[in-house]
Amino acid sequence: MATKKLKPTDKELVNDWMNKLEHPLKAEIDAVRKIIKDSDKNIRERIKWNAPSYYTSADIVTFNHRATKHVHLIFHHPTIVKIKSALLEGDYKDRRMLYLPDMKAVKANKKELQRIITESVQLIG
pLDDT for the residue 116: 97
The pLDDT tens digits for 14-49 are: 999 999 999 999 999 999 999 999 999 999 999 999
pLDDT for the residue 5: 72
Split at pLDDT 50, 70, 90, the class of 12 is: very high
The pLDDT tens digits for 42-76 are: 999 999 999 999 999 999 999 999 999 999 999 99
Distance CA 102, CA 25 (A): 7
pLDDT for the residue 3: 63
The pLDDT tens digits for 111-125 are: 999 999 999 999 998
| E-strand stretches of the chain | 44-48, 51-55, 59-63, 71-75, 96-100
The CATH code belonging to domain 10-124 is: 3.90.1150.200
Distance CA 37, CA 123 (A): 17
Say if residue 2's pLDDT is above 90: no
pLDDT above 90: percentage of residues in the chain: 92
The CA dihedral of 8, 10, 12, 17, to the nearest 10 degrees, is: 110
Give how far the C-alpha of residue 28 lies from the chain's centroid of Cα atoms, to the nearest Å.
12
Say if residue 1's pLDDT is above 70: no
